């Protein structure tokens, strides 16, 4: 199931969003949601292009093991300071086709 922009509209005023009933976050689904501070992904496999672009308050993402794709500019113009990932998630594969200089995340492993 895909979380589209139309579905995401219900979260527009939320500060924290947990995405758990969707496999795909569609292109531009949350783009420009200024109130969004944190996102938790549970069971999500793909974050498409521009999905969280211009979320100017987004500081935290919790990525799940199932993610196999992060699209172009998915988190462009977001002030992410904290990304929680599991040891099983292979970030080098997620960002394999991206310019390394464009991703500056401090990653924390643990519970």
Q: What is the pLDDT of residue 109?
A: 47
Segment 6-38, tens digit of pLDDT: 999 999 999 999 999 999 999 999 999 999 999
Q: What is the pTM of this model?
A: 0.81
What is the predicted pLDDT for the residue at 90? Answer: 63
By the 8 A CB rule, do 61 and 42 touch? no
pLDDT bracket for residue 111 (50, 70, 90): very low
Closest alpha carbon to 63 in 87, 32, 30 = 87
Which tens digit of pLDDT belongs to each residue from 100-109?
444 445 444 4
Q: Express each pLDDT in 50-83 by its tens digit.
A: 999 999 999 999 998 898 888 889 999 998 888 8
């Amino acid at each position: 199931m895909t979380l589209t922009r139309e579905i995401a509209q219900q979260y527009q005023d939320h500060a924290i969003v947990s995405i758990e009933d969707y496999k795909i976050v569609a292109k531009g689904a949350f783009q420009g949601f200024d109130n969004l501070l944190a996102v938790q992904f549970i069971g999500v496999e793909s974050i498409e292009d521009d999905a969280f672009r211009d979320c100017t308050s987004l500081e935290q993402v919790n990525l799940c093991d199932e993610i196999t794709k992060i699209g172009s500019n998915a988190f462009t113009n977001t002030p992410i300071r904290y990304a929680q990932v599991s040891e099983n998630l292979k970030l080098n594969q997620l960002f394999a086709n991206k310019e390394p200089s464009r991703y500056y995340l401090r990653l924390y492993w643990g519970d």
